[in-house]
A and B are shown apart, each in its own frame.
Chain A
Amino acid sequence: MENITLSFKDVSVAYNADKLAVIHISADIQKNSITSIMGPSGCGKSTLLRAVNRMHELYPNIQITGSIELNGRDILSMNPIEVRRLAGMVFQCPNPFPTMSIYDNVLSGYALNGIKIQRSERDQIVETCLHNVGLWDEVKDNLNKRGSFLSGGQQQRLCIARALALRPDILLMDEPTSALDPIATSRIEDLLVELKKEVTIVIVTHNMGQAARISDYSMFMYLGELIEYDKTEKMFTNPSDKRTEAYLVGKFG
């Protein structure tokens, strides 16, 4: 059990009563691994991911059944604020806070949670996190500039730094590179491989090459169901379900 960071137990999510967007999914996510979630558009990948940090609660009418455990604790028994701090999220579009400087963006998690930290510690966190995402050398002279002046790839790395600053146990990424060019994408891929020593990563991706390159485990979802979940190598070389195979050879999606 110690090696499992996240565990879905018969999770279903419905946006409206008559149709489930995620259907009875059970799966355990291994600690310090990268797990990719693949599947055609609309199959429920984002919906599943957003259930983990309880984003669905922000909107009325969304129904969730089953349970999700983070480090062995039921997330519903925890305070949503605590859950969201333990499960960092990176969105598809880079969204640094436009009115904050780069420095303040990295520390925004602390500011928003009202956590007071010493000046020296703040500098330390900013430098470490920006180093971790490979942004330090690019921005160290412009820390007081606003984050929205950075390029798309830099902004996305800033968002990753922002999520990492709170030292989450798990990083949830929803197509984090789909708005980026190949060079920025490959930098982020390298970064993720580097980061998994410290944090468990779940990444939704449409890019099969990406899943194959960086992930240790892969999930394939179809119409809300989890069709296959296995070691990435196994899934890409010898998928056990026909639908997975069809997806991987580009028959749909």
Chain B
Amino acid sequence: MKSVTNRIFKDRLLKTGIIVLSGLSCVPLLLILGEMLLKGWKQLSWSFLTQSTPTSLEAMLAVNSGERIPGGIANGIVGTLIMVLIATAIAVPIGLLCGIYLSEHRKTRFATTVRFLTELLQGTPSIIIGIIAYLWMVVPMKTHSALAGAIALSIMMLPLIVRSTEETLYLLPASLKEAALALGSSYRSMVIKVLLPALGASMIQWDPTRPSSAVSLLIWQFYNDPNLNSMIWSASLFLLLFVLLLNITAKQISKKWRI
């Protein structure tokens, strides 16, 4: 009997340890959140989402007279949306096809090479991809553009899509494929009508945090302009809330559709 109480005690100890430690890991997040809420709350309003960034002068005047800084980050939000749309339009079809190919021909030399290269791309720091896009797009075209950003973004998305397509397809039971083919389905309609929907259902929890870059860019701009400094917090707060919302939505959808 003694050993049982002993084990229960150890068990409790471990549980308490786990709870304390996981509580600790939340502390930085809560601190950051608190700071953002305190400093950014004032600025957050409907017009913050619908108006574009104020000039440095406008901001300075408002700060001096103790008012709320006018304007918001609408240009950043619209920029983000455009970029994400273009990037998705480029990366999703290529990534899907590539992922399907890799999962169907796992062992050929070509597939191994492609897989290795996508892994490499996934490991490439985003700053490098950004610089490349800058050199290839922005410099020759002599202007910053959503397109350049979108291409950089799509290059970052590509390996993610390829890998998750391949992994998810590979994990789908072979019986699903066989069931479709045993009904006389062609390979193509099996992929389109059975594999892709199943893939969509299990891949929706795909990481939505990356595509917030245009807003991030604005934050950088706010940081570099002392008059706009106080908008950093509200923009960050917005970004955080937005990512939170995306995550929750994705979780809800994938819960509803999970296989």
Real complex partners, A and B? yes
A58 touches B184 (CB 8 A): no
Map CB proximity to B onto A150-189 as digits: 1 under 8 Å, 0 otherwise: 0000000001001100100000000000000000000000
B182: A residues at CB distance < 8 A: 53, 55, 84, 88-89, 91, 163
B198–A112 contact, CB under 8 A? Answer: no
On whether the beta carbons of B180 and A98 are closer than 8 Å, the reply is no
Judged by a CB distance under 8 angstroms, whether B17 is at the interface is no
User: If the complex has contacts A55-B178, A91-B175, A112-B193, are A98 and B198 also in contact, measured as CB distance less than 8 A?
Assistant: yes
* Residues of chain A lying within 8 A (CB to CB) of residue B189: 111-114
Give the complex CA separation of A108 and B184 in angstroms.
10
B198 touches A159 (CB 8 A): no
B13 within 8 A of A: no
Q: Known contacts A95-B173, A97-B179, A99-B201; is A112 also within 8 Å of B259 by CB?
A: no
Contact yes or no, B183 A109, CB < 8 A: yes
Tell whether B197 is near chain A: CB-to-CB under 8 Å: yes
Q: B183 contacts which chain A residues (CB < 8 A)? A: 84-85, 88, 108-109, 112-113, 162-163, 166
A113 to B190, CA, bound (A): 9
Q: Please, which residues of chain A bring their CB within 8 A of the CB of B8?
A: none
A201-227 at interface with B (beta carbon < 8 Å): none
- Asked whether any CB of chain B lies closer than 8 Å to the CB of A148, the reply is yes
Nearest CB of B to A100, in Å: 8
What residue in chain B is nearest A57 (Cβ atoms)? B181
* Cβ 8 A contact of A81, one of B175, B178, B184, B257: B184
A195 located at the interface, meaning its Cβ lies under 8 Å from any Cβ of chain B in the complex: no
Report if A18 contacts B (CB, 8 A). Answer: no
Contact check, A166 vs B184: say whether CB atoms are below 8 A apart: yes
Number of A interface residues in the complex (CB < 8 A): 28
- Min C-beta distance of B105 to chain A, whole Å: 11
Check if B16 is an interface residue, CB within 8 A of chain A: no
Q: Is A97 touching B176 in the complex (CB atoms < 8 A)? A: yes
Q: Is B194 an interface residue (CB 8 A)?
A: yes
| In the complex, number of A-B residue pairs with CB atoms less than 8 Å apart | 76
Are B185 and A55 touching (Cβ within 8 A)?
Answer: no
- Tell me whether B181 and A109 are in contact (CB under 8 A): no
Contact B175 A93 (CB under 8 A): yes
**Bound complex: CA A100 to CA B175 (Å):** 15
Chain B residues with CB under 8 Å of A88's CB are: 182-183
Which chain A residues lie closer than 8 Å to B198 at the CB level? 97-99
- Closest chain A CB from B245 CB (angstroms): 25
* Contact, CB under 8 Å: B259 / A148: yes
* Known contacts A95-B173, A95-B176, A97-B194; A113 and B184 CB within 8 A of each other: yes
Nearest A residue to B201, CB-CB: A99
Select the residue from B175, B178, B182, B185 with max chain A CB neighbours within 10 A. Answer: B182
From A91, A97, A99, A113, residue with most partner B Cβ within 10 Å: A99
Kindly identify which residue among A81, A83, A113, A159 contacts B179, using a CB–CB cutoff of 8 Å: A159
Does B186 reach chain A (CB closer than 8 Å)? yes
Whether A112 pairs with B178 at a CB distance below 8 angstroms is no
Q: In the complex, A252→B178 CA distance in Å?
A: 31
A145 → chain B, closest Cβ, in Å?
A: 12
Nearest CB in chain A to that of B173: its residue: A95
Q: With the chains together, A82 CA to B184 CA distance in Å?
A: 7
5 extra interchain contacts, Cβ-Cβ under 8 A, other than A55-B181, A88-B183, A111-B193? A91-B175, A95-B176, A97-B179, A166-B183, A166-B184
A-B contact pairs, 7 of them (CB 8 A): A99-B200, A108-B180, A109-B184, A112-B184, A113-B185, A113-B189, A148-B259
In the A-B complex, the 9 residue pairs with the closest CB atoms:
A112-B185, A85-B184, A99-B197, A89-B182, A84-B184, A98-B259, A109-B183, A95-B175, A81-B184
